[in-house]
Amino acid sequence: MKDKIFELASEFSSQTHGSSNYDKDPLFVMGSGLEEYVPLSYLQKKEPQFKDLHDILKLGFVHSSYDFLNTDSFKKWFQKMFSKKLTIRDSKSIGILHFPDQKTIFDAVEQVNKNFDILRETFVIMNNKNLPVQLGEWYAKTIFGLKQVKSSSQRGFDFVSEEGKKIEVKPQWGDKSSPKGVRLKKSLLELSDRCIIIYVAKNFMIRDILYLDCEFILRKYSGKGHAVYLKDTDVSSYFFSKSNKHFDKVVNQSSLMRFASPGFAMKLAGRFDDPNS
């Protein structure tokens, strides 16, 4: 029956439907590719055995909101089919039924499990924190020569520099920072001497680094509440990609360059040897 649904999605997508009311459907089923969809009501009209959503889900389809998937392919398909743009308001009420490639997912899960075992054996993953957080902490530990010890004040680990300074390490995962900025707990800043923010891109490479004095952060950026938010626009001049100020804190330059994203690596290239850059 899955193949029948794919066939109907292809049939529906082969011509426009500007004069129909199918654009009002709250549920659309994705076909065999990202360029083919079909309204659930059209499926029910063509194949009466699909009485409701449950009949589609039991075949292995997965139900997600359009906002969650946020796929441009559906937006383009919608405009092509109905000669109208998909409004933000309408998109919030639309659900997409899609059929996952379970073999590909299973193979990926197996590979992830193998990779996690490798990261555990090499002491990158040490506890139940998520991978980007632990990887970011490992980057900081390796690049800045930090000693990682079990925390006496909170769950997890503390970091100490060669000089005995307490370091707060904050990994931030994503290709872009939140508009609100990186959230830092004031209590942890007050307990620490330095703060290192490792910006880890979605490909798990380093996209930038911040190395700041905790006292400086609290004095310049602290407001009301229990947290400090460092926005990129406020601290942009301190990023490693722009400033050499804390290059002397880097203990392992080769690790920094090895794990830097291509764009970040290009900005760093040659600058460790040139104090005037």
157 pLDDT higher than 80: no
Using left for φ > 0, alpha for ψ between -120 and 50, and beta otherwise, residue 83 falls in left
Which has more pLDDT, 16 or 145? Answer: 16
pLDDT of residue 151: 63
Helices (H), 58-194: 66-69, 72-82, 88-91, 102-121, 131-144, 186-191
| DSSP classification of residue 102 | H
201 close to 221: Cβ distance less than 8 angstroms: no
Q: What is the pTM of this model?
A: 0.70
Picking from 30, 32, 112, the residue whose alpha carbon sits closest to that of residue 69 is: 30
Least confident of 83-97, 149-163, 179-193, 221-235: 149-163
CATH C-level class of 109-273: alpha beta
pLDDT of residue 154: 55
pLDDT band at 37 (very low <50, low <70, confident <90, very high): very high
pLDDT of residue 57: 85
Q: What is the helix (H) or strand (E) element at residue 169, kind and residue range?
A: strand 166-173
Dihedral pair phi/psi, residue 122, rounded to 5°: -100, 10
Residues 6+ apart with CB under 8 A from 62: 97, 98, 99, 100
pLDDT of residue 152: 59
Cα atoms in the Cβ-side hemisphere of radius 13 Å centred on 54: 1
275 pLDDT higher than 70: no
Least confident of 9-13, 56-60, 169-173, 217-221: 56-60
Domain positions in the chain are 2-100, 109-273
pLDDT of residue 112: 84
Picking from 159, 127, 137, the residue whose alpha carbon sits closest to that of residue 146 is: 159
Percent of the chain with pLDDT over 90: 52
204 close to 132: Cβ distance less than 8 angstroms: yes
Percent of the chain with pLDDT over 70: 95
